[in-house]
Structure 1
Amino acid sequence: MTKKEAILRAAQEAFGELGFSNATVKDVAGRADVSFGLVSHYFGNKQELFLAAGFDMADRIITRLIEATKDAKTGMEAICNYMSAYFEFTEEHRKRFSVLLRCSPFSHMEVGVDAAKVAEKFSFFIEELKRCVNMGIADGSIRDLPVEKTALIIYGNIVGSVRTSLLTPYDSEGIFEETIRHVARSIANSPSQDGC
């Protein structure tokens, strides 16, 4: 791992754990075992470091979601694959994933962070869900639903489940699997098509 990658990982941990306001560049440098100056050299200021950390995590999950949905035979299968891949990624990167919750237009936006840049980066998540919903309506696996609202509701279910799993004291064992089943039941064209 390069020093730049180590800084990104450390930033993801620090911002995910402490938030933008409470995490410091000094803390990130300490976690990455590099000098403060090297962090500044690679990422400039704290806001740019925060965005780089969040966007790196977003890019990684986007790559996973594209791979998960590309060969789906139906829109319902694509939605289920999308959700499964998202949840699996969350579990694999549990210690660093919270940065994506904090650097998201679907969460409380941190003061001092360029919300427009964040919204632009996150447009993929909704656009891919819209593509999958459209595909399902066309192939008959998904009911005729308002596409954009359905995509937003599905993503809201995903984010809510991830937040519950990562950030709350509730027993959330099995929440990811049940969220997938719940969404599938909600959008299926018929009860026989709701299985993922």
Structure 2
Amino acid sequence: MDTNQYVKDKQLVIFELDNVLFPEKDYLLQVYYLFAQFIEYSEQKGAGPIIEFMRAEYEKSGTAHLFENTAKQFGIDPKYQYNFNLLHQNARLPLKLLLYKNMLSLMQELVVDRKKIYIVTAGNAEQQLNKIKQTEWNGLEQYLTVYFSDELNQPKAEIFQKILNDNNLSPKEALVVGANNFDEEQSKLINLPYIVSLEIYK
């Protein structure tokens, strides 16, 4: 992979977190595992079938109504939705989150070339921070500057512009790496070059 083609004329690169630097499912499936273990301990319901059901539901329909469907399937008291939600924010994962290999290589190249690395991530700030803390960064953590758009209550485009202003850069000197249409739209609002993370995996 020749990442130089993407960043040779850039001074900084802005990344989203989920499905850009690592698979979101690597976090969620571990949360579901921990929740199933919690239910087994609290309610003496076997964790194995619960874990398998939650994995299948997630793969079929994503996160929407996952707790409700699981609770209905296994007769789990609705009061445990609080614990389910809390685990998303503060779970201590059995396994560290691993960066996509090509993204790790790209970020390491950016550091060597003295280019700045930013993460601008949407979603619950506490949950996103928990992911960051439990990611194996291979020493890159000291080079990261992170913004949580939901916590700041700002559109990503405004945060992108602030990053450019703080570094006295024009849009063409930066790059956004995302994984969804929203990130692309926010980038286009201020004429920031954008690529889908999958392009870097080729």
Rg comparison, structure with higher value: 2
TM category, shorter? 0.3 to 0.5
TM-score, length-scaled by structure 1 = 0.32
Larger helix fraction of residues: 1
TM-score, length-scaled by structure 2 = 0.32
